[in-house]
Amino acid sequence: MRRAELSAALGAGAIMATRMLGLFMVYPLLVPYARSLPGSGAFLAGASLGVYGLTQGLLQIPLGALSDRWGRRRVLALGLVLLLVGSLIAALAHGIVGLLVGRALQGAGAIGSVALASISDRVHEDQRVKAMAVVGAAIGGAFVLALLLGPLVADGFGVSAVFALTAVLALVALVAFVPSMPAQPLPGRVVPLIPSLRGLLARPAVRRADYGIFAQHAAFTLVFVFLPALLVHRWGLAPAASWRFYVPVLLVALLVVGPLIPRLERGRLAEGVLRPAFLVSAVALLVLVFLPGRIALAAAAVAYFAAFTLLEAILPAVLSRRLPPETRGSGMGLYSSAQFLGIFVGGLAGGLLLAWGDRPGLVVAALLLVSSGVVTGRLVEPPSASPRASG
């Protein structure tokens, strides 16, 4: 990548990583914490993990399209302000209702599509897998740090302090990274939103990529509904000590998958990796379900998180090659909406399945990943084979 392309990837990656650091910190803590709040229960605890995905899913498309008109910088700033306010509400909540409201507002800062579109604006398509890998590495590093930092902060100061720290991180991203993002919208004709979405959804590749990310994140959320209980039962680790498991597992996963990313640039190999990566994820979850013991749990977790990280880099890069510049914000908004609606559905499904133990939920997650492998495995036609978005 040229220096300007690397700078674009690093800027977007810094915003997304700082934002996701705060959101990831509560993942291993939230369901047990939510179940302890007044007025809560299994279903509402699962909903607290997934509800921010609902507002994310509903607002990714409008904010992505708005960024095509207003420019990326203004919309990124708006999203981070909403994240900050929602985090403060969740930090001050004394019952499940306040927590749900705060989580919903956190999700309303739906700027994932805007950050991804800013990369596609400034990075040539032949370098986008590398650029997305930079972002993926930043988010992966944030994920590792979050699963270390979140439990440590919660152990010392309580889960409310984790939400307060998320508000601080949103402020840091707003002040330190947003000013470097493009202020002006891209030159050229802006396609009206409804015809743009209609044209995008007419593309088989767009539908397949969107389903893939939906199922991937529904499964991901299901994993974090049930994995804390598995760590208690098999490793004797309470949520506040779960970093002892997550950090080494995620470091090994990143070491496994990191060297693969640059090689996928050659000959556009990324599309061919989608189906195997989804199937590896599914098999890993089935190992979690059916093979007892610590070693099986650790090995399966490494395989799952390695495949997850690989898919997070590949899917948006593959999709971006099939989007015309004038609808790129809307297209990435549609993609991000599918991603976060998957989180919402996974959280609700997890809440409903908690009463049945961990096996049914993880089997459902594995089946979702198998279906994604089948659907996205057909993302092999060249970008020019897809119909252009109508205007």
Phi, psi (rounded to 5 degrees) for 29: -110, -25
* pLDDT tens string 282-327: 999 999 888 888 888 899 999 999 998 888 877 877 777 777 766 6
What percentage of the chain exceeds 90 in pLDDT? 20
pLDDT at position 199 over 70: yes
Q: Is the pLDDT of residue 10 over 90?
A: no
AA letter at 82: L
pLDDT at 144: 74
Token pair of 236, please? 């004797």
Q: Give the pLDDT score at 17.
A: 84
Report the C-alpha gap between 348 and 342 in whole angstroms.
10
CA distance 301 to 245: 10
322 vs 208: which has the higher pLDDT:
208
pLDDT at 186: 60
Structure tokens at 87: 């985090």
| Least-confidence region, from 77-86, 152-161, 241-250, 297-306 | 241-250
In order of their start, the domains of the chain are: 3-184+193-384 (1.20.1250.20)
Q: What is the mean predicted confidence (pLDDT) over 40-66?
A: 84
Alpha-carbon span 313 to 309, nearest angstrom: 7
Q: What is the pLDDT of residues 259-276, one digit of tens each?
A: 776 666 554 566 677 888
pLDDT given at position 219: 94
Given a contact cutoff of 8 angstroms between Cβ atoms, the answer to whether 20 and 142 are in contact is: yes
What was the pLDDT predicted at 366? 94
Give the pLDDT score at 390: 36
